[in-house]
Structure formats: C-alpha cells, structure tokens
Amino acid sequence: MYMTQLSVFQTLPPTTDDAILDHLSITEIIRFGRTCSNAHVAVQSYIKRRFKLSDVLARFFKEQTQVEELRTLMSNTGMVISGSAALQLFQRNLYADSDLDLYTPLHNAQQIADWLISKGYTFVPSVQSLPTVETAISEAVSRHTTPPLIGATPSTRRGYLRAACILDFRATNPVRKIQLIASVRSVLELILGFHSTCVMNFITHEKAYCLFPRATLVERRALTYLNRTIGHESNRNAYVKWTARGFQLGDCLTQAEFDDPGSAFAPGMRFVGDSKRLVFPIHFLREDFTGQKEGTVEVNSFALEYNGTLEPVFNSCHVNLEGLRYPYVLTEDEAVFILQEVTPYGVVHLRQSNRTIADVGKVTFDLELKGLMTTLRNMDAESDPASDPPDSGSEPDEDDAEGDENNETHGELNGSCEP
C-alpha cells in the first residue's frame, strides 16, 4: 500500500504533491523526505515551490526583479529580513496586516534607504526635527561617534534597545510599510533582543534561519517578556496579536523543562549554524546568477541561560575586531579565544586592536573567521558527543534534513540538492 501511494509522487505533476504536503508540519515533511529517494525528490521540489521569498515580498515589491535587487543589496550591505516576514516564510502563510522589517549595519542605512525611495517608498519621519533620511541617519551617527568596544553585551531588557535608528517608509495603492532598523552592533544581537522567541527568525541574501523551530513551528509556543495586562500598551497589544496568531506565550520554563536536555528551550551554547536551527537556502529566479557574496552570519553564537525564576537570558559578547566587515556576537568562551588569537591577517598570536573597520579599509577577514569558527565548533563536537556540530556548508544529501529523537525539526532543507 505504501509503495502504491508513493508511486503517485513519481507519476503525477509535481504540483500535485502540494495537496498533501501543504497539510504537513515541518517535522512531518522532514520525516517524509527521509523515507526514500523518491520522497526526497518530492520534498525538495515542494520546498522550491512553497518556501519562496518572492511570495512573502510580493506585497512590498510588485516586480520579481525588485526582489532580486533587494537580495543583491542584502549581500552587499549585511542587511537581513526579520520580524513576522521571516516567520511567514517558514509557516507558508501570510499575515495581511504585517510590515516588512529590515535590519542593517548603520553605515549602510543610507544606501538601503535610497534604494527603497527609488522603488516608490516615501520616508515618514518619526520626529519633526529629523525630517529627512539624511538628517535622521546623521543624528544617529553623531550619537555613536565612539565605536562600540569589544566586550560583554549586557543582557538586560529586550526590544529595540540597541538600535541606532529606526526609519519608517510607506507606499500606497495598496498601503505598505517598511521599517529599516539600523545598528552599530551585530544585527543578530537585535534579533536576540526581540520580545518573543517565535519571531527570532531571519533571512539573509542566501538562507532563511529559524532559531527555535520545534517550539515555533510545531509546538506553537514561545518564551516572551510580553504580558497581557501590564507593561507598555504596545507590549500588551503585541501579546494579544501573537496569541491571536496561535502562539502560547510564557515568560519562563517549568523546572521539569529546564532539567530536560531535549527541551526546545534547553539551556546551553547556541550558534546560528548549529543543528538546533532550521535553515534552507533562498533560490534565485535566474539559474545563472552568481553575483552574491558568501554569507558569514553563522559566525554568531550566544548562550541561552535562565535566571533564578527560570526566565530566559540571552548572553553574548560583542566582537568588532580590526579587519572585520561586520560586528558579531559570540559566547564568552569563543570571544576570549578570538580576542587572543585573531588579527586581520589570519590566526596568529596577537592581542586585540582598538581600531575599527573604518581604519582598515577594504581588507576584511570575515570568511576566514567563519572557517575558523566552524573548525573550532567541529573540534568541540568531536570531543563532546553531546554537543551539536555546525553545518558544514556543503550541499546536503538525502539524509541531511534530519533531526534526533528529541527534535526532528533540526537540520537543513535544501531544494536544490540531489538525492
């Protein structure tokens, strides 16, 4: 009977699979894709059709070429898409009233703002004293003339605490809103400061990442600092909005879940490339397109910890070494190692520099740092079987979209790989 059912995937048009796979969760899709090579092919084809960035962005950019232009801009500036737009991509559904949130290093905000204006968006100033994009960015730059030093990132509040500036853009017919959030620190640091774990998802120019896939996409729950009855009105409204979207929100773990290493929110070290995340590549409209830079967001790491009342605390260290194109966040242990071992010219035994990227010019070593961190994390995984190895960066085979008995949303979904 099973083989008879599977033969349907071999003989009918690929889009026929949608009638079945549209009703499966991410976990079920991964499990089905692991059953045999024919199922794997069906799942990979489905991923390319259903997990499409252009579908999420269709409300904001009317032409497909504009989506590709945006991705080129993301590649050149380090900008990422986050907020509800990233979650919609993973959920395969759209929120009609949602905005588009773009996160970027401050020094690239003007370039991105100019591009948005060229596509029909109008800047909407938040204060009368800063009526233009230029004045808003200049004011933000003036408040951050002293570059952030390398060191500990405080883990106090969450929200837009560390954003340098927030620029609002609007378009009409229909009404659309885009927020450009700029930072002098790592954009991932802003994402880790979101009000709830269910929105800790983001899209780079080449991949989409969900940091807590089992809790977010399967269990439909999140850790949050939001409260329905207390706090700022915007926080209360956000609580109502996300519960209305089907999420169970809680501000802490139970003792039983804290003690469970298989929990979706188990404490410990995390990094963007670990096996606890869900990731899949974003495919280009043009098969011959090769103009994108390799991303380095997987350098970032953090520690998920809990205080005495089992409320979550995201701990990390801000790292902005001489020669890095972008700042990153790392766990304390990794940051200490990097400060002792890394310079713009490779892995050598030299101490940290207080100069910033502006002093270095065009010489950057972000890709070398990515390779180094991958190697170190692989070594740690080999010495500690309980730890999670990072993704190798290679094209996965049919067994790579995998999990374990505790979390089968782990792994990588890749619509272009061959079985």
Q: Encode pLDDT of 285-331 as tens digits.
A: 555 555 578 899 999 999 999 999 999 999 988 888 777 889 999 99
Q: What is the pLDDT of residues 189-215, one digit of tens each?
A: 999 999 999 999 999 999 999 999 999
Tokens representing 152 are 């500990």
CA distances from 36 to 29, 39, 61, 248, 398 (A): 13, 5, 38, 35, 8
What's residue 397's pLDDT? 35
Residues sharing a CB contact under 8 Å with residue 302, sequence separation 6 or more, in sequence order: 188, 192, 269, 270, 271, 314, 315, 316, 329, 330, 331
Nearest to 81 by CA among 282, 242, 332, 220: 282
Give the per-residue pLDDT at 417: 27
pLDDT tens per residue, range 101-156: 999 999 999 999 999 999 999 999 988 888 999 999 999 999 887 666 666 555 54
Range of lowest pLDDT (138-147, 171-180, 345-354)? 345-354
Length of the chain: 419
- pTM here is 0.85
The greatest distance separating any two alpha carbons of the chain, rounded to the nearest whole angstrom, comes to 70
pLDDT in tens, 206-256: 999 999 999 999 999 999 988 887 778 888 888 999 999 999 999 999 999
Is-cis flag, bond preceding 174, omega within 30? yes
What does the pLDDT read at residue 30? 87
At residue 134, the pLDDT reads 95
User: Across residues 4-26, what is the average pLDDT?
Assistant: 73
Q: H/E element holding 221?
A: strand 221-223
